[in-house]
């Protein structure tokens, strides 16, 4: 089969890989229908994380081709959406809703690589969720978004406790930030402030439910949020970037007693303890337990109540994945869908 391999930073190739096979009785082999490039794939692409002939990709939807003897909830022919973290969905941590911290957790990007024609998914029962039937082609991008960006944005909005009567603020207008806006709206937030400087993304933010746009960043961004909220700050703040400035902007924009959900993968962010201490806020973040939300998100997409698929603004065949990485790196694309 064909698959994306990052030889080293900036050097992405589509090459022949061995076809995956069932190894454990709990495995499934999925023939992928669509996959995509994640903002986090840019970390190794830019040399911030190591890359050495690394198999790429962790977002995926497709049709189950084969299952191991112990798999019970999905069968060959099922269309499935999977989380970017493998989980058993039965351990104590999973049952508490934190499948991304499962005792058997394994990151799909570390060794599986779903930017490929097929993937072996371990712990299929705990990782994959079948859709109610074969989706219409126009639903495929939305279902693919559920695999990571939607699930992650949703978790961030839940962690920030966005809801009725509340003001939410979202730091970051990338795919995850936009999905957090969608989630905050679905969860019933009264006012949703998108912190964004890009006209195109501001437009999409409004489409997904943003009521206000703030272009200021850092301390000026915090001051603006306070000014808009009677001096208090927002009730529910999402951090979806992962830089020092964005993280501290999110801390500063959260009102005392408010909630901050952080899902930007933060590299070398230093959080001054004293600022967090005096902020007096609830914080929850980390890799999103997407599996917790998948059944609900799939249903919302199936019933056409949400349209997360618009977050993909460039579609390329898998063979042109290198161009997709380049487009995202140069910010010509927010999120690239790869077709098979």
Note the residues at the interface with Zn ion (CB under 5 A): 87-88, 91, 94, 102
Choose between 121 and 250: whose C-beta lies nearer to Zn ion: 121
How is residue 100 annotated by DSSP?
G
Residue 254: in which H helix or E strand, if any? strand 254-262
Residues forming a β-bridge with 86? 106
Cβ 98 to Zn ion, closest distance in Å?
A: 8
Residues forming a β-bridge with 127? none
Cβ 151 to Zn ion, closest distance in Å?
A: 16
Choose between 128 and 143: whose C-beta lies nearer to Zn ion: 128
Choose between 27 and 88: whose C-beta lies nearer to Zn ion: 88
Choose between 28 and 183: whose C-beta lies nearer to Zn ion: 28
Residue corresponding to tokens 């920030």: 160
**For residue 302, which of 176, 117, 129 has the smallest C-alpha distance?**
129
Residues recorded for the chain: 340
**How many Å apart are CA 145 and CA 335, to the nearest integer?**
10
Structure tokens at 205: 């933010």
**For residue 232, which of 212, 207, 256 has the smallest C-alpha distance?**
256
Cβ 123 to Zn ion, closest distance in Å?
A: 8
**For residue 97, which of 297, 302, 294 has the smallest C-alpha distance?**
294
Structure tokens at 83: 């989380």
Cβ 292 to Zn ion, closest distance in Å?
A: 11
Choose between 89 and 254: whose C-beta lies nearer to Zn ion: 89
Choose between 122 and 264: whose C-beta lies nearer to Zn ion: 122
Cβ 96 to Zn ion, closest distance in Å?
A: 9
Cβ 295 to Zn ion, closest distance in Å?
A: 16
């Amino acid at each position: 089969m064909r698959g994306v391999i990052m030889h080293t930073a900036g050097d992405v190739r589509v090459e022949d890989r061995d076809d995956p096979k069932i190894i454990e009785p709990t495995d499934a082999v999925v023939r992928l229908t669509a996959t995509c490039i994640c903002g986090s794939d840019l970390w190794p692409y830019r040399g911030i994380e190591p890359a050495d002939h690394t198999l790429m990709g962790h977002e995926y939807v497709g049709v189950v081709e084969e299952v191991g003897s112990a798999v019970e909830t999905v069968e060959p022919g099922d269309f499935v959406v999977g989380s970017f973290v493998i989980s058993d969905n039965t351990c104590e941590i999973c049952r508490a809703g934190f499948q991304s911290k499962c005792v058997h957790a394994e990151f799909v990007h570390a060794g599986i690589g779903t930017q490929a024609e097929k993937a072996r998914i371990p712990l299929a029962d705990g990782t994959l969720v079948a859709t109610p039937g074969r989706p219409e082609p126009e639903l495929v991008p939305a279902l693919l978004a559920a695999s990571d960006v939607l699930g992650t944005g949703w978790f961030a909005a839940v962690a920030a406790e966005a809801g009725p009567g509340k003001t939410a603020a979202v730091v970051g207008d990338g795919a995850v930030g936009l999905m957090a806006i969608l989630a905050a709206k679905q969860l019933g937030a009264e006012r949703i402030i998108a912190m964004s400087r890009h006209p195109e993304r501001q437009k999409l933010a409004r489409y997904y439910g943003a009521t206000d746009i703030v272009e200021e960043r850092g301390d000026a961004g915090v001051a603006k949020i306070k000014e808009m909220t009677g001096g208090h700050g927002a009730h529910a703040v999402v951090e979806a970037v992962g830089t020092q400035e964005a993280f501290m902007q999110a801390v500063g924009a959260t009102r005392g007693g408010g909630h901050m959900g952080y899902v930007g993968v933060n590299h070398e962010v230093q959080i001054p303890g004293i600022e967090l201490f005096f902020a007096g806020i609830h914080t929850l973040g980390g890799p999103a337990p997407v599996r917790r939300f998948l059944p609900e998100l799939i249903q919302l997409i199936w019933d056409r109540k949400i349209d997360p698929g618009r977050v993909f603004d460039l579609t390329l065949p898998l063979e042109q994945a290198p161009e997709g990485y380049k487009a995202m790196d140069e910010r010509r694309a927010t999120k690239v869908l790869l077709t098979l």
